[in-house]
């Protein structure tokens, strides 16, 4: 058994250390479940449901971390048999079938956790009155590898009247943040609601405008949060706000989502679950991985800072989530979810659970 575990670790590490900088080289350190803070105190039934949702996608993954398909098939089949089991039985399932590994690099072991949510906007199928800011589908002639058009050029009307407009919304700043969140709902003027999901991106890298505001307007970086940025953009002159938003040249194209699921669909193709779905850099952590996180909720006007330790599943990715020590927690939708996601910028550690290779 020890030889199999050692071989498994070697495969995992060799698959993820091609990047030269030590800060971006994944290093997995085997630990015991007893080393996971507050392990055993979670609602494992909720985590199991999310894991099962990922299983079909996970077992067909081409990622080297999931190349041991026989082990993943085995644990996924066992998970399906536990749908109506007790929390204690599900806890035992994870403990008897997985081994935890601390995620770190060769010079760091602290992860930065941020948050995201399902945005809610107001809109119309046709432009009129306040509804003048389009949500675009992806252009058919957009070719990867060519010089991409920037946010600024799109905002100046490059795609206007192109037939790519899905819907028009009434708030340019909320639309900007929809691009960051990647999914949302639009309450239409006829009383109906549509779901909007990420489809593609213009090719420019994501640039966080909070750093730009801090540097160019002499604001302490520790004060920067999504709520602060929203308020800052709204209280400054329009041309200043637009110039700042254009510093993020990345532009997201969307699609209208027709889905029976209540929650948005993540990058893995499964419905996200609040505080169970995690966005990661899939170059290092593949979809479907069970991950124990050890961090804190943010201190917000309505929420106190308290430990956030629970089992989550890697089911999404994000433009700002780069490197092995970055993760983004899906908080759901609504005011509380928006608040938690907006203030979430906490350090912590996390551990991936990998299936035991059976002889």
- CATH number of domain containing 172: 2.40.240.50
- Residue 249 within any structural domain of the chain: yes
Q: Do the beta carbons of residue 43 and residue 261 sit within 8 Å?
A: no
List the structure tokens of 245.
């938003």
- Estimate the crossing angle of helix 226-235 against helix 238-245, to 10 degrees: 140
C-alpha dist (Å) from residue 26 to 4, 110, 141, 283, 286 = 20, 12, 37, 10, 13
**Which residues constitute the domain of residue 162?**
118-257
Name residue, tokens 């209280």.
235
C-alpha dist (Å) from residue 324 to 111, 145, 313, 351 = 8, 25, 15, 11
The pTM for the full model equals 0.87
- Residue 16 within any structural domain of the chain: no
pLDDT in tens, the chain (359 residues): 444 444 444 444 444 443 345 667 888 999 999 999 999 999 999 999 999 999 988 765 566 666 678 889 999 999 999 999 999 999 999 999 999 999 999 888 899 999 999 999 999 999 999 999 999 999 987 656 567 889 999 999 999 999 999 999 999 999 999 999 989 999 999 999 999 999 999 999 999 999 999 999 999 999 999 999 999 999 999 999 999 999 999 999 999 998 888 899 999 999 999 999 999 999 999 999 999 999 999 999 888 889 999 999 999 998 789 999 999 999 999 999 999 999 999 999 999 999 998 75
List the structure tokens of 342.
């907006």
Burial class (CB in 10 A: 0-12, 13-18, 19+), 67: middle
- Residue 40 within any structural domain of the chain: no
- Residue 305 within any structural domain of the chain: no
Instruction: Count structural domains, the chain.
Output: 1
DSSP string covering 285-352, please?
Answer: S-TT-EEEEEEEPPP-SS----EEEEEEEEEE--TT--STTEEEEEEEESHHHHHHHHH-EEEEEEEE
CA dihedral for 279, 284, 285, 287, sign (positive or negative) = positive
Query: Residue 262: CB partners within 8 Å, gap ≥ 6?
Result: 271
- Residue 189 within any structural domain of the chain: yes
- Give phi and psi for 108, each to the nearest 5: -145, 155
- Residue 78 within any structural domain of the chain: no
Q: In this structure, are strands 290-296 and 277-279 parallel, antiparallel, or unpaired? A: unpaired
- Rounded to 5°, the CA angle 228-230-231 comes to 65
- Residue 81 within any structural domain of the chain: no
- Residue 163 within any structural domain of the chain: yes
- Half-sphere exposure of residue 23: CA atoms within 13 angstroms, side-chain side: 4
CA 223 to mean position of chain CA atoms:
23
């Amino acid at each position: 058994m020890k030889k199999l575990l050692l071989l498994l670790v070697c495969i995992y590490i060799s698959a993820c250390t091609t990047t030269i900088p030590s800060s971006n080289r994944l290093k997995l350190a085997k630990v015991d479940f007893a080393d996971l803070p507050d392990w055993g105190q979670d609602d494992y039934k909720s985590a199991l449901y999310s894991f099962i949702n990922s299983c079909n996608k996970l077992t067909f993954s081409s990622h080297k971390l999931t190349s041991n398909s026989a082990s993943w098939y085995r644990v996924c089949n066992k998970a399906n048999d536990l749908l109506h089991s007790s929390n204690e039985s599900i806890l035992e399932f994870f403990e008897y079938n997985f081994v935890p590994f601390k995620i770190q690099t060769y010079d760091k072991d602290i992860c930065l956790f941020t948050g995201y949510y399902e945005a809610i906007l107001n809109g119309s199928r046709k432009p009129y009155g306040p509804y003048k800011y389009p949500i675009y589908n992806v252009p058919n002639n957009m070719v990867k590898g060519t010089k991409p058009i920037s946010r600024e050029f799109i905002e100046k009307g490059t795609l206007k009247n192109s037939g790519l407009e899905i819907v028009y919304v009434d708030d340019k700043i909320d639309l900007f943040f929809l691009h960051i969140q990647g999914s949302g709902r639009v309450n239409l003027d006829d009383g109906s609601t549509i779901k909007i999901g990420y489809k593609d991106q213009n090719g420019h890298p994501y640039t966080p405008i909070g750093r730009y505001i801090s540097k160019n307007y002499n604001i302490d970086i520790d004060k920067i949060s999504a709520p602060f940025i929203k308020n800052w953009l709204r209280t400054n002159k329009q041309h200043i706000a637009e110039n700042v938003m254009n510093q993020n040249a990345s532009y997201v194209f969307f699609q209208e989502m027709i889905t029976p699921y209540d929650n948005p669909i993540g990058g893995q193709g499964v419905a996200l679950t609040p505080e169970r779905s995690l966005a990661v850099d899939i170059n290092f952590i593949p979809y479907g991985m069970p991950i124990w996180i050890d961090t804190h909720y943010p201190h917000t006007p309505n929420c106190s800072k308290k430990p956030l330790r629970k089992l989550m599943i890697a089911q999404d990715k994000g433009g700002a989530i780069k490197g092995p020590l970055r993760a983004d927690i899906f908080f759901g939708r609504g005011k509380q979810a928006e608040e938690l996601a907006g203030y979430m910028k906490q350090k912590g550690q996390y551990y991936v659970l990998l299936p035991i290779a059976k002889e």
